[in-house]
Structure 1
Amino acid sequence: MIRFPKFFKFPAIVLFILSLTSSCVSREEIVYFQGLEKAEAVMDKQKENSLKIKPNDLLTISVSAAEQTAALPFNLPVIGVSQGGSDMGMSVTGRQQLQTYLVEDNGKIDFPVLGNIVAEGHSQQELAAKLKEKIRRYVQDPIVNVRLVNFQISVLGEVNRPGTFDIQDAYFTLPQALGMAGDLSIYGKRDNVLVMREINGVTTHAYLDLGDANVINSPYYYLQQNDVVYVEPNGPQRQSASYNRNAGVYISIASVLVSVAVLLTR
């Protein structure tokens, strides 16, 4: 029978215990939206509080109708954007692009024929319905489409593809943003995701627990323009940040020096 020295047994036992404890990860630590069946009741209410138009937003608004000639006065001219060069101006060739409306600091846009219209505080659908009601006085059965051009969100931290993303959907959620960023890395904290938002010139924030299904009822679950999502690194990742990347080199040098010293002292 092979007998190990006593000094060898203790480190081996310690390493065995550490390997067991480090490999045990509970379901609560990694599974998203636990208890979802109990959290769906007020989700629709949060959707009502989603994307709202703010000052300095850029909008595209198109008006159409069966009699398109009657709808033309309510549309800005379509411009042709030149391609393949730095000259960005009017062009006969190239792709066409709708001109945008800038929401002024007073929350209004200058709309053809109708004049100043309050856009701030409305969703895209609400503004479209408001314009449709006013245009109906001049055009039979108008169709109004409103789109927010500058809807962007940034996802930073422990995700696989951090970056700033252009969003096309009026209803865009935190999980969708994380999906665009490649989901959280294995080192990201799922119970403490930060969402930062500017409201009336003041930066607000909230920490959300993705493991708790009640996150869908947070006013920060549906993202708004220019929101920033930050995923904090977990404990082991923070500790590894302080690890000296040259430690391996130093250990190798020390090993060589010890070996040389042993040879010289024999």
Structure 2
Amino acid sequence: MMKNQLLTTFLILMVLLTSCASYKENSYFQGLDRNPEMAYKITNFSPPTIQPGDVLSLSVKSLNSDGSAIFNSGAVTTAKGKDGSSSATSSANDGYLVNKDGEIQLPLVHGVKVGQLSLEDAAALIKGKISPYLKEPEVSLAFTNFKVSVLGDVAHPDVITVDGERFSITDALSKAGDLTATANRKNVLLVREVDGKRKYINIDLTSPRLFESPYYYLKSNDLIYVEAGKAKFATQSTFVKVLPIVISIASLILIAIQVSK
């Protein structure tokens, strides 16, 4: 019985000594006012603008569908039916590549400068360019290569393909399975390319002002790196340092028990 109690005490001591990360260190948005009546206007989101290297999916609809087909997605395959009719289809992977000058090459109208425009503004510009060739055209654009990379101390590091225009750092970390218990939540690195330059931004996930950060919403090709916290290495280091001491104490207790019998 005494030996079982000693073993239990020993195991509890080891757990206490090796548990270095506190609950507070693992909490997000510390100090955030959680009053359910509080509401804050979102002012730090702006639609992403088109950049060189982007690939755009273009969908054009009009009253003359055959004319619309040549613009859709940048490439069209025509298939003939048994009755001799034809239909136009396009692959989901097709798209218009934005060149270094910010232009895409469209049939009939050729170069259209869409660089630095939002998708909505670019769609309006394209609509104006193709209107002479189509009746009442409707144009929609979407990014096909909006990707964000998440590396480091997360459950599932990955390259995430984004649907839509609004994607936040919390969305990305959720997609990656969240941070591990030992990750450093106070110093998450965001790497972003802007105008041919690479920017390095440190983000504190424990800050209640995270949602107001100009970097809360991500851009295409952003990289998020989560470094391991000190607790991850301290746990291993503490275990190695303390284990001999605990073994020595346990041995002395066992000897004392034997002598007292």
Using the size of structure 1 for normalisation, the TM-score is 0.69
Aligned to 1:140: 135
Aligned residue in 1 for 2:224: 229
Instruction: Mark the runs of 5 or more structure 1 residues left unpaired by the alignment.
Output: 1-11, 81-94, 259-266
8 Å CA contact 2:142, 2:164 repeated in 1: no
Q: How far apart are the structure 2 equivalents of 1:31 and 1:97?
A: 38
RMSD over aligned CA atoms reads: 3.5
Counterpart amino acid of residue 47 in structure 1:
F
CA deviations on 1:160-179 (whole Å, 9 max, x unpaired) are 11111211221111111001
Match of 1:67 among 61, 64, 68: 64
SS in 2 for 1:46: coil
1:39 CA drift (Å): 8.1
Distance 2:237 2:77 in 1: 54
What secondary structure does 1:188 align onto?
coil
Distance 1:104 1:110 in 2: 9
* Structure 2 residue aligned with 1:84: none
1:124 matched to which residue of 2? Answer: 119
Structure 2 partner of 1:31: 28
Mean Cα deviation higher: 101-110 or 207-216 = 207-216
Q: Offset of 1:124 from its aligned partner? A: 2.0
**Corresponding letter in the other structure for 1:156:** L
Residues 209-246 of structure 1: per-residue CA shift (max 9 Å, x gap): 222232222222111111100112222113357689xx
- Partner in structure 1 of residue 40 of structure 2: 40
Structure 2 gaps of 5+ residues are 1-9, 79-89, 252-261
Aligned to 2:166: 171
TM-score (norm 2): 0.70
Matches within 5 A, 1:1-266: 25-26=23-24, 29-32=26-29, 34-35=32-33, 40-41=40-41, 43=42, 45-48=43-46, 50-75=47-72, 76-79=74-77, 96-97=91-92, 99-240=94-235
C-alpha displacement of 1:123: 2.1
The residue type equivalent to 1:25 in the other structure is Y
Indicate conservation of the 8 Å contact 1:61/1:145, yes or no.
yes
State the aligned residue count: 218
Partners in 1 of 2:179 and 2:219 — Cα distance? 20
Instruction: Give 1:184 deviation, angstroms.
Output: 0.9
Q: Percent identity?
A: 30
Q: Tell me, yes or no, if the aligned pair for 2:148 and 2:162 is still in contact at 8 Å.
A: yes
